Amino acid sequence: MERTLRWVPLVWPTMLLGIFFAVPFAIMVAVSLFHRQPGGFFEPGFELTHYRRFITPFFLERLGVTIGIAAAAAGAALAIAVPFTYLLTRARRRTQVAWLIVILSVLSLSEVIVGFGWSVLLSRTAGISNLLVALGLLEQPRPWYPSLYGMVTGLVYVTLPYAVLLLYPRFSRFDRQLLEAAETMGASAPRRFVTVFLPVMRPALIAALIMMFVFVLGAYVIPQVLGRSQHWTLAVLITDQALFQSNIPFAAAMAIFLLAVSLVLVWLVVRLTRRRGA
């Protein structure tokens, strides 16, 4: 009886998971196997035509672009978030609260507002390049969007607050005596940070990197607004197939393919970190 009662609190979350994830996912898998008819319609069936398109050079290239952009944005956001969060946890309590309020306010912004805001900042007419011209660093204004660098910049801006919030609790609980012990042995501040702090925080860093990588894999607005068509990720192509090409079965197959790829990549990262003792 006691064993049965232990499972009672899990009944409601399991029901919600089944209703809002398992059932829609099963429907999406079924639709991905349907037959598409001319005119944007589809009928029940069982065919792997949509999945065969993934082995074409075009989609293999799109997959490589998507993974590369996600890795670059997640790595850049983590590289900025780690020293920032480290210094934030060493600041006074009021300073920490103020910065956390700013970070939470950034998260309240819609991704659409962020995307079009960065499009203005990276434009030729009213962008950052005009400020650089006024400072004498550039001869004339230049547009920095749509471009790969502009898109990655927008993705880093969107993911950076999440990285800070993921790292902040773990960094706050770090035992400062480890750094003090390294200091008494003559280690400089940068060396203490690299040889003591980062190895201890390795699990938190890997978890944050995985979370941001998966988040960028599903980004849609930023790549479409700030990137060129050759920089579009699979998330953008899924929306294009579903809304503009009226090819719902192929869009569902692409969504399943993207989910499978992300799960495989996360599994590989977890396996590699376990072998290294993280």
β-pair partners for 274: none
The reply to whether 100 falls in a domain is yes
Total-model pTM: 0.82
Q: How many domains does the chain have?
A: 1
Question: How distant, in Å, are the alpha carbons of 10, 13, 61, 159 from that of 3?
Answer: 12, 18, 51, 42
The reply to whether 79 falls in a domain is yes
Record the tokens describing residue 241, joined without a space: 């197939």
Q: Are 144 and 129 in contact (CB under 8 A)?
A: yes
The H-or-E segment that residue 84 falls in is: helix 57-89
Give the integer Cα–Cα distance in Å for 213 and 197. Answer: 23
Question: How distant, in Å, are the alpha carbons of 27, 42, 121, 146, 244 from that of 37?
Answer: 19, 5, 44, 35, 15
Q: In this structure, what CATH number is given to the domain that contains residue 259?
A: 1.10.3720.10
Give the integer Cα–Cα distance in Å for 137 and 30. Answer: 57
Side-chain half-sphere exposure of 157, counting CA atoms within 13 A: 23
Write phi, then psi, for 78 (nearest 5 degrees): -70, -40
Q: How far is CA 132 from the centre of its chain?
A: 30
Give the integer Cα–Cα distance in Å for 276 and 278. Answer: 6
Q: Are 258 and 65 in contact (CB under 8 A)?
A: no
Tens-digit pLDDT string for the chain (278 aa): 566 667 767 778 888 888 888 888 888 888 888 887 776 677 787 888 888 888 888 888 888 888 899 999 999 999 999 999 999 998 899 999 999 999 988 888 888 888 888 888 888 887 788 888 888 877 888 888 888 888 999 999 999 999 999 999 998 888 888 877 887 887 787 888 888 888 888 888 888 888 888 888 888 889 888 888 888 888 888 888 888 888 888 888 888 888 888 888 778 777 776 665 54
The reply to whether 21 falls in a domain is no
The reply to whether 193 falls in a domain is yes
The reply to whether 32 falls in a domain is no
- Domain range for 96: 58-275
The reply to whether 175 falls in a domain is yes
Q: What's the pLDDT at 277?
A: 52
The reply to whether 45 falls in a domain is no
Give the integer Cα–Cα distance in Å for 158 and 225. Answer: 14
The reply to whether 229 falls in a domain is yes
Q: What's the pLDDT at 278?
A: 47
Q: How far is CA 85 from the centre of its chain?
A: 18
Q: Are 249 and 52 in contact (CB under 8 A)?
A: no
Residue ranges of E strands in 19-69: 35-37, 41-43
Give the integer Cα–Cα distance in Å for 220 and 134. Answer: 34
Cβ atoms within 10 Å of 83's Cβ, excluding its own? 10
Q: What's the pLDDT at 40?
A: 63
